[in-house]
Each structure stands twice: as C-alpha cells, then as structure tokens.
C-alpha cells in the first residue's frame, strides 16, 4: 500500500487555444509536480473536467498521462460515469495503460439506491482487474456514502481504499479504524491536516497542481510528529484557497498555472473565465509562490 501513501495532484486537463486536449502542457504540469516529490497523480477526476470530456478525449488523457509518467510514479484513473458499461470501458483503457488503480464517483443524477450504487462498483471490480478506490464526494455527486456503506466495499479485497472529499471526519475515523490496512485519501485541501489527524494516509487535491510542495511538506512533518510546524503551512494554504473559492477554484487554478508558465487554457463551457479584476486578485494572493 506504500505506493498509495502521499500526495496526489488531481490533475487539471489542459486545453490549447482551440479547446483541444494539450498533451504538452500536461507533460509540463506532471514534470513540475514530480520534481516537487508527489507520490503520483489522480487522472481524469472532477478537477480534470471528466464529465466535460468526450469518451475518446478521456481515453487519450489516460494514455498520455501514463506515457508521460513512464513508470516513475503511482497512477490512479478516475473512471466514473453514470453508466456502468461506460465506466468499465474507461477502466479497461486504464488497465491497458498500466495504471495502478481505478477510482470512481458514485453514479449520480438519477438518485440511484445504495444497492444500485453498490452493484455499480462490484460490476466494475468484476470487469476490470485493477484495485478500486471509492470516491466519496457528496458535494458534487449528491450521494453521501456513510461509514457503514464504505465498510461494505472495504471488506472486499478488490477495494483498496477511499478518497473522501467530505468534511465528515467522524466517518473517516470510523472506516479507517475498522479497516486500518486500507488507504484513505483526504479530499478537501483546506482540511488536509484535519484529515491526516483522523487517519488519512495522504491526499488527492486540486490545489496540489500548483502548490504540491506545501502538502508534501505538511505530510512529512505530520509523519515525523511535528504537527505544530505543519499548522502555519495549512494556514497559508487556506489563505490562498479562500481566495480561489471566491472566484471559482478551477478557473483560478488554470490562471495560476498560466502565471507559472504552464498554459492549461480555459475550462470547458459552460464554465466561464475569470475577469481581469479576478485575475489580478488571484495574482496578488499567490504572487509569493512564484
Ligand atoms: O473539487 C472539489 C470539490 N474538491 C477537490 C478535490 O477533492 C477534487 C479539492 O481539491 C478531486 O480530487 C478530483 O479532481 O477528483 C478542492 O478543489 C479544494 O479542496 C478546494 O476546495 O469540492
């Protein structure tokens, strides 16, 4: 499980000026983060605009990230879709590309029952021979997986962990204590230290794209029992995240990377873009990172 413990940027998907997938920028983004000591990448998640990509674009993204990584780090493919068959198809691509694990949000929109959601995940692990990391993100999926629900997955060997983008840290402590050998990823970057305190083994986050070094440092300090030294870093990170939340997190992240020399283009519509004023506000907030 060691290869899953640490810092995993939830990769942004870069686009070029014609709104096409930009492999070169993806390479720049991954190389910059590898130099900062990340353990691996979460490819094609919420941050990667998974649900705004066509099927062929998503497959290309999995392939490109695997080629760029070239065995240097751990790769997790987010394969989530509303349809089981489509998610399984993405899972087969991840397997062909040599990914270390697959992950999925719960199927959403139709208000599926928990037995239906459970069947979705078990169908996927039945069809794709890769370990599964369940992705609990109630804010976006509208589905809240309780500690008991999560236990129904973690009791099966094919489920190796959970990515918990939820501020229910009581639940996190409960499923981590019940399954200490499974891997738990903290999802909210602004609560990273809280997650580590409640048992997370690391994190998957969007703001890691441009400030992974801060999370690598906090993770190391906490492992060494130096929590009080990590707290000022979390405060600094939260000052930045508070500004991002005001203007739109993903828009701001792409703008910051452009300021850092990695042009990831715009978000896919219907996302809009930052105004000039918002861009200046973001620049003033993060300029000491450059
Ligand atoms: O975007 C959200 C939803 N959460 C992300 C992250 O959990 C998403 C988080 O980093 C992710 O990992 C993925 O792309 O699949 C936030 O952007 C960050 O904490 C700022 O709020 O809330």
- Report the CATH number that the domain containing residue 54 is assigned in CATH: 3.20.20.70
pLDDT tens digits for 16-63?
999 999 999 999 999 999 999 999 999 999 999 999 999 999 999 999
pLDDT of amino acid 1: 86
pLDDT of amino acid 197: 97
Tokens coding 113: 């029952």
Among residues 133, 137, 111, the alpha carbon closest in space to that of 121 is found at: 133
Distance CA 252, CA 270 (A): 16
In which element (H, E) is residue 42 found?
Answer: strand 40-43
Contact 99, 66 (CB under 8 A): yes
Q: Give the nearest ligand 1 atom to 189 CA.
A: 19
Q: Give the nearest ligand 1 atom to 208 CA.
A: 10
Residue 262 lies in a domain: no
Residue 239 lies in a domain: no
The b-or-e profile of 71-80 (16+ CB within 10 A means b, else e) is: eebbbbbbbb
H-assigned helices in 163-270: 169-178, 192-197, 208-223, 227-247, 249-259
- Domain residues for the domain of 116 are 2-212
If one residue of 8, 29, 47, 144 were mutated to test the ligand 1 pocket, choosing by the most ligand atoms within 8 A of its CB, it would be 47
Q: In the chain, which stretches have pLDDT less than 70?
A: none
Sheet holding 40-43, edge to edge: 7-9, 202-205, 183-186, 159-164, 132-136, 101-105, 74-78, 40-43
Residue 224 lies in a domain: no
Say if ligand 1 is within 6 A of residue 256 CB.
Answer: no
Q: Give the nearest ligand 1 atom to 250 CA.
A: 17
Catalytic residue IDs: 135, 163
Q: How many domains does the chain have?
A: 1
The pTM of this model reads 0.97
Among residues 63, 61, 66, the alpha carbon closest in space to that of 47 is found at: 61
Which residue, by CA, sits nearest to atom 6 of ligand 1?
Answer: 205
**Ligand 1 centroid to residue 186 C-alpha, Å:** 10
Residue 240 lies in a domain: no
Cα separations in angstroms, 180 against 63, 154, 160, 198, 242: 32, 10, 11, 12, 32
Say if ligand 1 is within 6 A of residue 131 CB.
Answer: no
pLDDT of amino acid 52: 98
If one residue of 51, 61, 205 were mutated to test the ligand 1 pocket, choosing by the most ligand atoms within 8 A of its CB, it would be 205
Tokens coding 280: 């200046």
Say if ligand 1 is within 6 A of residue 285 CB.
Answer: no
The complex's ipTM works out to 0.97
Residue 237 lies in a domain: no
Distance CA 2, CA 176 (A): 16
Say if ligand 1 is within 6 A of residue 46 CB.
Answer: yes
Q: What is the DSSP letter of 144?
A: P
Cα separations in angstroms, 56 against 20, 62, 128: 12, 10, 19
Binding-site residues for pyruvate, in ranges, read 47, 204
Neighbours of 42 (CB within 10 A): 29
Residue 245 lies in a domain: no
Residue 275 lies in a domain: no
């Amino acid at each position: 499980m060691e290869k899953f413990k640490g810092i995993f940027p939830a990769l942004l998907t870069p686009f070029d000026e014609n709104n096409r997938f930009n492999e070169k920028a993806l390479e720049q983004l991954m190389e910059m983060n590898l130099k900062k000591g990340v353990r691996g990448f979460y490819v094609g998640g919420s941050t990667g605009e998974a649900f705004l990509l066509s099927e062929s674009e998503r497959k290309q993204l999995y392939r490109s990230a695997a080629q760029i990584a070239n065995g240097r780090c751990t790769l997790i493919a987010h394969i989530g879709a509303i349809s089981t068959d489509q998610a399984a198809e993405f899972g087969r691509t991840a397997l062909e590309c040599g990914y270390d694990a697959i992950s999925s949000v719960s199927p959403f929109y139709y208000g599926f029952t928990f037995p239906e959601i459970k069947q979705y995940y078990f169908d996927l692990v039945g069809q794709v021979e890769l370990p599964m990391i369940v992705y609990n993100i109630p804010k976006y999926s509208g589905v809240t997986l309780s500690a008991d629900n999560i236990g129904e997955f973690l009791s099966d060997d094919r489920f190796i962990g959970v990515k918990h983008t939820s501020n229910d840290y009581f639940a996190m402590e409960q499923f981590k204590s019940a399954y200490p050998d499974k891997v738990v990823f903290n999802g909210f970057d602004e609560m990273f230290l809280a997650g580590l305190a409640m048992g997370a083994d690391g994190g998957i986050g969007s703001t890691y794209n441009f400030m992974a070094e801060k999370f690598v440092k906090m993770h190391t300090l906490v492992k060494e029992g130096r929590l009080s030294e990590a707290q000022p870093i979390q405060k600094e990170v939260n000052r930045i995240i508070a500004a991002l939340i005001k203007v739109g997190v993903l828009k701001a992240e792409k703008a910051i990377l452009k300021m850092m020399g990695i042009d990831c283009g715009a978000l896919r519509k219907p996302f809009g873009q930052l105004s000039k004023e918002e861009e200046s506000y973001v620049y003033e907030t993060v300029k000491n990172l450059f």
